[in-house]
Amino acid sequence: MKNVDSVRPQTSGPIVSVNNNRQQVSLLSRGSKPKAPKRALKILLAVIGVIAVILAGLVVSRAVDISNKIFVGQKTSFFQKIAEVFQGSQGQVRLAGQDSGQINILLLGIGGQGHDGPYLTDTMILAQIRPQAGEVVLTSIPRDYWVQNPESRAWEKINAPFSDGYMKNHDWNEAGQWARETVQQLTGLTIPYFAVVDFSGFEKAVDQVGGLDIKVDRTFTDYQYPDNGTGYLPPQTFTAGWEHMDGARALIYARSRHAEGPEGSDFARGVRQRKVIEAFKEKVINLNLIADAGRLNSLLSIFADHFHTNLNPGEIYSMYNLVKEQNLSNILSLSFDPSTNLICPYIQPDSGAYTLTPCPGKTDADIKNFFKNAFAIGKLAQEKTVVWMSSSTHNSPTYEDANRTLQQAGLTVWEFSYSGQPLTQNVFYQVNPKPATAEFLKNTLDATEVALPPPGMKLDPAKVDIVLILGGNASSTAAEPQ
């Protein structure tokens, strides 16, 4: 590498590039930024915290029947489950993925009996947890994404495999396995665990604890919320601010999908459902129900019919302790939706169904890279990295591909002229430490970090964070996930 002739802006800000009409679209758009870390942490603790309270009550009457309904796909006896609880509380139970540094859990929400499509997973959240690094990413998966069911081989929306598995086998573990395999196929990740919540069961549970106090973020009205028959309830309005909700009201708030504006989106509905779970968890803990055997027994009976997981009691306690004890300073929420520029709306020609499929030019490898890089993507917005980039081979198409990849990830890219010898691989040098961006470049562009800057290049840390030079391997800007 010899000289750097010039540097020119590839973008003028976080949204639009000004060089050669290159358009930058931030992966985390202004309208759908992740929630604050503390709020995301509460969301993750919500489900795990409620389960931990359930575990503490397993010594009450009918505990054997209750535990068998909650903990599915397991052949251990009730007394073995009790032993697992103590082992988990002492940190003696290892979770799948813990030794490799990442634990993946699929969190599901269904309507339950009395609703159309009672077993369709209208809420799907992939929780990726790195306990030792203190990092968690919660990624919402849209129910309309079009997939091939790995078990039945049928093409359908991603919210259907769980329902298909349950209707075929009448077994919660089999249903969870069908859902896990489908999401594994989508993400390229191994997902050993699932937990499913029947939201209709929350109506009874919420009333049992005396209702929930929930903060409504935006005022909205749903004019088409279905009743228990074939019609609709009167218009349901929620006003911004705190509201005390009974079970029926909380369920409407969680499941509303026909409001105009932002609250009518599946993403907003997923956020509301997580808020309900979070509020319930907080209420259970604040009431100290462990000391109220009668009410706890009633709650356990409700959850036995409306909550199921293939985590065993020891694994749940181990999970709860890991999350509680680690300093989880980086908790991020992502949404796998059209704002990523990876998936686009598509009307199925044979049925007319609205679906989401890969955008033109996007591949399964691109989508797998999104989930593989979820931690880096979630932190890129925090780092606000400025990248100076050039192609050592002067290959314009490969440069454009890499430029588009970086811009869609929210990076600010400036192009500089490179006159050195062509390189055989992509390399980058960090002027300022940007660990998330470095991980993204390694995983997405198969780039190698070098210890020295390009010769003769004057680098001002106030103007540039990373220098990236594309080499002979730049023809494939999206490395195949491992």
HSE value, Cβ hemisphere, 13 Å, CA-based, for 104: 17
Please state, in angstroms and rounded to a whole number, the distance separating the CA atoms of residues 256 and 323. 30
Residue 28 pLDDT: 34
For 328-346, b/e burial (b = at least 16 CB within 10 A) is bebbbbbbbbebbbbbeee
Better-scored residue on pLDDT, 320 or 235 = 235
> What pLDDT digit, counting tens, does each position of 350-381 carry?
999 999 999 999 999 999 999 998 888 888 87
User: 57-66, 147-156, 282-291, 399-408: which has the highest mean pLDDT?
Assistant: 147-156
User: 218-222, 270-274, 319-323: which has the highest mean pLDDT?
Assistant: 218-222
Q: pLDDT band for position 321 (50/70/90)?
A: confident
Q: pLDDT band for position 192 (50/70/90)?
A: very high
* Cβ neighbours around 360 below 10 Å, total: 6
For 37-41, 110-114, 196-200, 292-296, which range has the lowest pLDDT when averaged over its residues? 37-41
Block residue for tokens 């979630």: 378
Please state, in angstroms and rounded to a whole number, the distance separating the CA atoms of residues 408 and 137. 19
Q: pLDDT band for position 88 (50/70/90)?
A: low
* Confidence check: pLDDT of 223 > 50: yes
Q: pLDDT band for position 466 (50/70/90)?
A: very high
**Percentage of the chain with pLDDT > 70?**
75
Residue 87 pLDDT: 67
* Cβ neighbours around 49 below 10 Å, total: 21
**Percentage of the chain with pLDDT > 90?**
38
Please state, in angstroms and rounded to a whole number, the distance separating the CA atoms of residues 170 and 152. 16
Residue range 313-321: mean pLDDT, rounded? 79
> What pLDDT digit, counting tens, does each position of 53-86 carry?
555 544 444 556 677 788 888 776 666 666 766 6
> What pLDDT digit, counting tens, does each position of 436-458 carry?
899 899 988 999 999 999 888 88
Residue 29 pLDDT: 34
Residue 406 corresponds to which tokens in the numbers above? 């970086």
Q: pLDDT band for position 43 (50/70/90)?
A: low
Residue range 164-168: mean pLDDT, rounded? 94
- Tell me the pTM: 0.69
Please state, in angstroms and rounded to a whole number, the distance separating the CA atoms of residues 454 and 444. 22
Better-scored residue on pLDDT, 475 or 8 = 8
* Confidence check: pLDDT of 12 > 50: no
Residue range 380-401: mean pLDDT, rounded? 90
Residues 304 and 64: beta-carbon distance below 8 Å: no
Residue range 253-257: mean pLDDT, rounded? 85
* Confidence check: pLDDT of 278 > 90: no
For 23-37, 205-219, 456-470, which range has the lowest pLDDT when averaged over its residues? 23-37
Better-scored residue on pLDDT, 267 or 161 = 161
Residues 109 and 196: beta-carbon distance below 8 Å: yes
> What pLDDT digit, counting tens, does each position of 90-123 carry?
667 889 998 899 999 999 988 877 677 889 998 8
Question: Taking all residues of the chain, what is their mean pLDDT, rounded to a whole number?
Answer: 80
CATH 3.40.630.190 location in the chain: 37-340
Residue 476 pLDDT: 44
Residue range 37-66: mean pLDDT, rounded? 54
Residue 59 pLDDT: 45
Topology of domain 37-340 in CATH is: Aminopeptidase (3.40.630)
* Confidence check: pLDDT of 274 > 80: no
Residue 24 corresponds to which tokens in the numbers above? 């930058």
> What pLDDT digit, counting tens, does each position of 282-309 carry?
787 777 655 566 676 677 777 778 889 9
